[in-house]
């Protein structure tokens, strides 16, 4: 076995450098010593979208994309989905260990204590249009919580931090359910703390005139497992947003609002909504081959397929397929399932998808379950956000406690104009398309 170093020869100067390799990684900052002259800034790595850059050391979640392995704090997702509960998993993600009985009771008790939201938040919600997207409302309400809990800015105080964990995890379903009821013009249903986390969420969504809402135990359990599956996914777009905003020492509500905003996009947590819209657009099994052809011609993406990390299968998608069967036994089979199954069948044997290692991801089947449970498509990313909240918190805490972390501040390669003199108004040429001109700027 050779040395754990990398030898680089800079052909511009003929100089050789030896960089340390640790955990299969070189430190990008070590590249800065590689210069052509004293004034040279030094070599940087160029990695748009961070496809090959580790931004942190983390102990929260492990993924082996090639083997389809996902573990939270070392526990395989399959075991957590089968044996744990969402709140227990949330504790694990944040504190690093499964709670004992006493810790779990305390954790659940504190979370129940924080499910209600300030009445002014409810009033704030009333300002949204009837057709506002619930994810847009959730992002805004999470940000708004920052103004209700100004102490949360003391991010280094462990007791104050803990209060924000409770509030973020306990209030997110309330905000989500209130957003949904707002779009329907329905009166708000306040939390019922006799119910489980998922059961209470269903209560706040669906309760009408009955004295006590009784959640269906199969649907309650299915939702709880879906939350577990969405708990964390290491350094994805929203976790990165949580860490990046948090690194400026913004309070956790602002950071969580940023993370939720990142999740909203159709390439991330918004994909489950797009999958359903796609299946509805396809409409019938006979239209599947034509749709796949359009995908292969680059006209469309097959939503719910592909993943930056998983290049074999997404273990969450496999668990979800099992949950779907249980849910459909209660709700009846979702008619779109046949289209989804046919799409998967054709895609998995087609060279285009095989070559690119495109498999169904977590969002491919979750939308079908949510639809069968009665959720409108706009709520799907919101459900994702409820599940992901403990992961965002776990990532945020780890970032704050990591002595190597600083405010996130990537470098750039400047490709714009060099210095030029200010042009008087009468000397300027009309610009037809500002964006086009900006991208044509000489380097
Ligand atoms: N349908 C068709 N082609 C695809 C798809 C897709 N869903 N995903 C990737 N490709 C193609 C892509 O066009 C590219 O082809 P080529 O090499 O010919 O240019 C190749 O596969 C590699 O794709 P990429 O865009 O470089 O991969 P990425 O790692 O940057 O993107 C992704 C990952 C998830 C954004 C992407 O696969 C995608 O847009 N999928 C659809 C949206 C989706 O389902 N997102 C949910 C992700 S899972 C939930 C979460 O964690 O957020």
Residue of the nearest CA to atom 36 in ligand 1?
A: 306
> Nearest to residue 215, comparing CAs of 184, 183, 189, 182?
189
Cβ of 347 closer than 6 Å to ligand 1, yes or no, is no
How much is the average pLDDT of 399-409?
97
Give yes or no: 131 in active site.
Answer: no
Residue of the nearest CA to atom 48 in ligand 1?
A: 361
Q: For residue 335, what pLDDT is reported?
A: 85
Tokens read off for 51: 């496809």
Cβ of 316 closer than 6 Å to ligand 1, yes or no, is no
Spelled out in words, what is the top-level CATH class assigned to the domain 70-266+379-401? mainly alpha
Give yes or no: 307 in active site.
Answer: yes
Q: Which member of 232, 251, 314, 363 is catalytic?
A: 363
| DSSP assignments along 92-105, one per residue | HHHHSS---HHHHH
- Ligand 1: centre distance to CA 339 (Å): 20
What does the alpha-carbon distance between residue 297 and residue 279 come to, in Å, rounded to a whole number? 19
Give yes or no: 268 in active site.
Answer: yes
Each as own residue / partner, the long-range contacts of residues 339-346 (CB below 8 Å, 24 or more positions apart, any chain) are 339/279, 339/282, 339/283, 339/284, 339/285, 339/288, 340/275, 340/279, 340/364, 340/365, 340/368, 342/285, 342/288, 343/279, 343/282, 343/288, 343/291, 343/292, 343/302, 346/288, 346/289, 346/292
Other residues' Cβ atoms within 10 Å of the Cβ of residue 330: 13
Note the pLDDT tens digit of each residue in 297-311.
999 999 999 998 888
- Ligand 1: centre distance to CA 382 (Å): 22
Q: For residue 207, what pLDDT is reported?
A: 98
Q: For residue 315, what pLDDT is reported?
A: 93
Residue 233, pLDDT > 80, answer: yes
- Ligand 1: centre distance to CA 236 (Å): 14
Q: Whole-model pTM?
A: 0.93
Residue 434, pLDDT > 70, answer: no
Q: For residue 439, what pLDDT is reported?
A: 53
Q: Which member of 30, 268, 338, 402 is catalytic?
A: 268
Q: Which residues contact 262 (CB under 8 A, 6 or more apart)?
A: 237, 238, 240, 241, 268
CATH superfamily of 271-371: Cytochrome P450-Terp, domain 2 (1.10.230.10)
Q: For residue 318, what pLDDT is reported?
A: 87
Are the C-beta atoms of residues 129 and 137 closer than 8 Å to each other? Answer: no
Domain boundaries, the chain: 70-266+379-401, 271-371
Note the pLDDT tens digit of each residue in 186-217.
999 999 999 999 999 999 999 999 999 999 99
Express as a percent the part of the chain with pLDDT over 90.
88
H-helix or E-strand spanning residue 353? helix 351-355
How much is the average pLDDT of 285-297?
95
How much is the average pLDDT of 223-232?
98
- Ligand 1: centre distance to CA 359 (Å): 10
Q: For residue 443, what pLDDT is reported?
A: 44
Q: For residue 440, what pLDDT is reported?
A: 52
Cβ of 122 closer than 6 Å to ligand 1, yes or no, is no
């Amino acid at each position: 076995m050779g040395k754990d170093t990398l030898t680089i020869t800079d052909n511009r100067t003929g100089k050789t450098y030896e960089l340390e390799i640790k955990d299969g990684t070189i430190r990008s900052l070590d590249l800065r010593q590689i210069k052509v002259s004293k004034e040279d800034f030094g070599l940087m790595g160029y990695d748009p979208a961070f496809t090959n850059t580790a931004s942190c050391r983390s102990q929260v979640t492990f993924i082996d994309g090639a083997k389809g392995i996902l573990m939270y704090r070392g526990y395989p997702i399959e075991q957590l989905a089968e044996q744990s509960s969402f709140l227990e998993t949330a504790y694990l993600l944040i504190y690093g260990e499964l709670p004992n009985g006493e810790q779990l009771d305390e954790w659940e008790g504190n979370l129940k204590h924080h499910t209600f939201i300030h009445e002014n938040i409810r009033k704030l919600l009333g300002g949204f249009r009837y057709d506002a997207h619930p994810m847009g409302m959730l992002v805004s309400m999470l940000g708004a919580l920052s103004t209700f809990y100004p102490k949360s800015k003391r991010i280094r105080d462990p007791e104050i931090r803990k209060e924000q964990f409770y509030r973020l995890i306990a209030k997110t379903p309330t905000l989500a359910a209130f957003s949904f009821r707002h779009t329907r013009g329905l009166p708000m249903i306040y939390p019922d703390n006799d119910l489980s986390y998922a059961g209470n969420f269903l209560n706040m969504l669906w309760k009408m005139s009955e004295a006590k809402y009784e959640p269906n135990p199969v649907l309650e359990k299915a939702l709880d497992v879906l939350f577990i599956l969405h708990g964390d996914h290491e350094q994805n777009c929203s976790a990165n947003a949580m860490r990046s905003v948090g690194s400026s020492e913004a309070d956790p509500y602002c950071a969580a609002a940023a993370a939720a905003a990142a999740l909203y996009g159709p390439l991330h947590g918004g994909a489950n909504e797009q999958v359903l819209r796609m299946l509805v657009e396809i409409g019938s099994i006979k239209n599947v081959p034509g749709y796949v052809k359009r995908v292969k011609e680059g006209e469309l993406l097959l939503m719910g397929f592909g993943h930056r990390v998983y290049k074999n299968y997404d273990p969450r998608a496999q668990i979800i397929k099992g949950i779907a069967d249980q849910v459909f036994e209660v709700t009846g089979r979702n008619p779109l399932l046949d289209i989804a199954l046919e799409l998967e069948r054709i895609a998995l044997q087609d060279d285009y998808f095989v070559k690119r290692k495109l498999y169904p991801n977590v969002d491919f089947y979750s939308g079908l379950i949510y639809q069968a449970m009665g959720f409108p498509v706009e709520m799907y990313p919101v459900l994702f956000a409820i599940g992901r909240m403990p992961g965002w918190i776990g990532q945020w805490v780890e970032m704050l406690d990591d002595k190597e972390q600083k405010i996130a501040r990537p470098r750039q390669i400047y490709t714009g104009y060099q210095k030029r003199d200010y042009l008087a108004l009468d000397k300027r040429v009309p610009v037809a398309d500002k964006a086009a001109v900006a991208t044509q700027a000489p380097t």
